[in-house]
Amino acid sequence: MQKLMMELTCFGGFTTQQQMKGGPGGSSTGFGNFKEIGPLDVNLNERNTTWLGSASLLFVDNPVGAGYSYATKDAAYTHNSHEIATNLVTLMSSFLEKVPDFKKIPFYIFSESYGGKMAAAFAKELLSAIQESKIDCNFKGVALGDSWIAPLNSTLSWGPYLYATSLIDGVGLADVDQTARQCEKAVISGDWFMATTLWSQLEDVVEKVTFGVNWYNILQWARQYKRHVEVYANDLHQLMNGPIRDKLKIIPKNVTWGGQSEQVFEHLKEDFMKDIIMTVSKLLETDIKVVVYSGQLDLIVNTMGTEQWINQLQWSDLEDYIKSPRKPLYCDNKMAGYIKKYKNFSFYWILKAGHMVPADQGETALVMLNDVINN
- Residues serving a catalytic function are 113, 298, 355
CA count, 13 A, side-chain hemisphere, 256: 13
Cβ–Cβ < 8 Å for 283, 124: yes
In the chain, the amino acid numbered 243 is: P
| Measured distance CA(300)–CA(308) in Å, rounded | 14
DSSP state string for 278-331: HHHHHHHTSSSEEEEEEETT-STT-HHHHHHHHTT---TTHHHHHHSPEEEEEE
What's the rounded Cα separation, in Å, for the pair 331 and 249? 40
Q: How far is CA 18 from CA 37, 231, 355, in A?
A: 24, 11, 21
* Amino acid letter, residue 143: A
- Whole-angstrom Cα distance, residue 166 to residue 116? 29
State the Cα angle at 364 between 361 and 368, rounded to 5°.
130
Where do runs of H (alpha helix) occur along the chain? 81-98, 114-131, 151-156, 158-164, 170-189, 192-210, 230-240, 243-248, 261-267, 277-284, 303-310, 318-323, 357-360, 362-374
Question: Please, are residues 144 and 372 in contact by the beta-carbon 8 Å criterion?
Answer: no
H/E stretch holding 254: none
Write phi, then psi, for 162 (nearest 5 degrees): -65, -40
For Cα atoms 145, 151, 153, give the angle at the middle one, nearest 5 degrees: 95
